[in-house]
Structure 1
Amino acid sequence: MVVALALAGLATAAAAAWSSGIIERPPVQAQAKENYGWSDKNRTYLSDAQILQARAQGVLDRDVRSILNVPKQMRYGDFVWNDRNVPQGPVWIRVDLKSQLISVFRAGHEIGTAVILYGAEDKETPNGTFPILAKIRDHKSITYDNAPMPYTLRLTGDGVSIHGSDVQWGRATHGCIGVPIEFAQKLFDQASKGDQVVIIHEWGSKQRNS
């Protein structure tokens, strides 16, 4: 059983939610900010002070202006997607292997999160920052008996990708990041070649840069 990002005050709660693993997230109330000109009760807005403190503590390496409120525990196969009123802008993706979550950000706002599958011990998913190298809508694995890998976002030359999967408890991948198929389609339509994907196991872990 895994849950979505927990963030009441970014500097402390984000550190707990994004690096300590499986925790329960209670509902949170949106903190509307006047300078955005719009409000969404389904997200929490972060102050400039919270962002600066999080960056200083190493919790974040880039600005995150808001995150989605996910008021219940997420289970395998669950996802949330809400880009309503979020402006166009750069897209980046964060994958936390320890908490088994993916988060998609656009213009600094989280627009999607899902429970993931990742690589087993003999085929581990690498840590690091990777650009999306290719997008393949109807991909099948050459290595693994033509296994379907819909909505593939390829991250490495040796085939590590984000792709649609039947996300169930007890399953793993051969190093890829498996996400629910409907979520994979939304992510595929949102992401572009060159967008960055940050994969972490825990803060401070050694990362591989592609």
Structure 2
Amino acid sequence: MRSFKFIAAAIAASLLASCATTPPKVVQAPPPVEEAQLPYQWTHGHAPKATKDARAAFGTVALRAGDYRWTPTIPDAPAKVVIDRLQQLMFVYKGDTLVGLTTISSGKKGRETPLGYWKVFRKQVKGFSRKYDNAPMPYMQMYDEKGIAFHGGKLPGYPASHGCVRIPVEFAKKLYGLTAMGTEVIIEG
């Protein structure tokens, strides 16, 4: 009972204190920024379309961290990767057909995976991080000059990397065989 009275008194004191303070300053919205000045390009709705494609291809799928779906591929179509940071999912296309879906672990707060349009420019089966104590990056596919890539790794079920996109190792192996230099990578969310 004593702690309840203390809490009630503290709430009352804070309410009274807030009445005595000056009203907050009006903050104006910042001026609009040209897209060319942004550190990345805005993306335009690829992830919502990919989510619809996933429902059509795999039905209602509830993936746990580390789960994925993979289907036989279309041989003569180019690959494309769509990553949705918000849903923590990666969608893999061959032409216009969705062939893969997996959970991911993108960059944690303060080291977010950058949004935008990219292309794979380096692939390595046994990659290692130059920045982070030679951390293993199996089936690494780099798409950003700063060293950000997608690769096999630990998937805790939330953003936890230093900026890379971690995917299940078995999925990374399949994806490695599907992509080529110049494969389009779209990151949204």
Does the alignment reach a TM-score above 0.5?
yes
Taking only the aligned residue pairs, the percentage that are identical comes to 30
8 Å Cα contact 2:128-2:136 kept in structure 1: yes
Look up the SS of the partner of 2:110 in the other structure.
Answer: helix
The CA deviation string for residues 106-142 of structure 1, in whole angstroms up to 9 with x for no partner, is 0210000000000011211000000101101101112
8 Å Cα contact 1:102-1:114 kept in structure 2: yes
Q: Which amino acid aligns with 1:119?
A: G
| Structure 1 position 189 matched with structure 2 position 174 | no
Change in Cα spacing, 1:125 to 1:171, as seen in structure 2 (3 Å) is closer
Look up the match of 1:94: 82
8 Å Cα contact 1:77-1:167 kept in structure 2: yes
1:151 paired residue among 120, 139, 153:
139
Q: Matches of residues 162-181 of structure 1 in structure 2 within 5 Å?
A: 162-170=150-158, 172-181=160-169
Q: Report the Cα offset of residue 171 of structure 1.
A: 5.8
**Partners in 2 of 1:114 and 1:123 — Cα distance?**
21
1:82 paired residue among 71, 78, 84:
71
**Partners in 1 of 2:187 and 2:91 — Cα distance?**
11
Change in Cα spacing, 1:121 to 1:188, as seen in structure 2 (3 Å) is same
| Structure 1 position 109 matched with structure 2 position 93 | no
CA root-mean-square deviation: 2.2
Greater relative CO, 1 or 2 (CA 8 Å, sep 6+)? 2
1:71 paired residue among 56, 60, 63:
60
List gaps (5 residues or longer) in structure 1: 1-57, 202-210
8 Å Cα contact 1:164-1:184 kept in structure 2: yes
Bigger proportion of residues as helix: 2
8 Å Cα contact 1:118-1:175 kept in structure 2: yes
Q: Which runs of 4+ in 1 moved over 2 A?
A: 58-61
Change in Cα spacing, 1:60 to 1:179, as seen in structure 2 (3 Å) is closer
8 Å Cα contact 1:80-1:114 kept in structure 2: yes
8 Å Cα contact 1:126-1:199 kept in structure 2: yes
Structure with higher Rg: it is 2
